[in-house]
Structure 1
Amino acid sequence: MQSMLAAAQAKVPQIDIVEARARHGRAVFVDVRDHHEVAAGHIPGALHVPRGHLEFIADPASSSHPSQMAANTELVIYCAAGGRSALAAATLQEMGYANVSNLVGGYSAWVNTGGPTEGG
């Protein structure tokens, strides 16, 4: 598992909280955490795409595909700490999404540095 995670992190651009905040409002933030995690709080405006459903929802041919996930849209992927989101971002790249990055530290880092949240 660690080698898969390291490969994903090497492949996908990693952005820190400062860069993520600069992109908030213009990029689409995609939360790949489970439903119960999102219910406890999330980044405002984030699109919820659970990691277990990612490939199905991200497929443009799917009836579940959200219009916000166009292949050329800037996507910032996050989870609780950055691991699941790194794997999800690598998967999205493999599916043809060219402008994908991973939020280092995930939602935990966002909250711990005073980032705005919704829910919970």
Structure 2
Amino acid sequence: MTQLTAVQAVAKAAAGEITVLDVREASELQQTGTAAGSLHIPLALVALQAAEKLDKSKPVAVYCAVGGRAGMAAQALRDLGYDAQSIGGFSDWASAGGAVSR
């Protein structure tokens, strides 16, 4: 996947072309909600849970609160053979028109 913006990720997610992954902690999701239809794997568990929760044949768009953890998670996923890109933070997803589930 080439560099992906949050706007592009919202469109691709709506079309079912990507998996959206939230790597924040559960307490953060409880406070703000999450991207509708996204999967949740906290950053610390990405390497351990990727194989059971993610499909390697589908690109992964990763976000966190601001973008730092998403970048680390995307790199870890690429190291494991996934096509993964950071799309920044949760506010980037919401600002791009992404649906939010609370």
Structure 1-normalised TM-score? 0.74
Change over 3 Å in CA distance of 1:14–1:89 after alignment to 2: same
Structural RMSD (CA): 1.7
Cross-structure match for 1:19? 8
Q: 1:78 pairs with 60, 63, 66, which one? A: 63
In structure 2, relative to structure 1, the CA distance for the partners of 1:115 and 1:73 (3 Å cut) is closer
Tell me the amino acid that sits aligned with residue 49 of structure 2.
I
| Shift of residue 111, structure 1, vs aligned partner | 2.3
2:43 to 47, 51, 62: 51
The answer for unaligned runs of 5 or more in structure 2 is none
Which structure: greater strand fraction? Answer: 2
Q: Deviations over 1:22-65 (max 9, x none)?
A: 1113111010000011122000000000001111101x3xxxx1
**Are 2:7 and 2:96, in contact at CA under 8 Å, matched by a contact in 1?**
no
Assess if the C-alpha contact under 8 Å between 1:76 and 1:101 holds in 2: yes
Shift of 1:114: 4.0
| C-alpha separation in 1, matches of 2:3 and 2:27 | 25
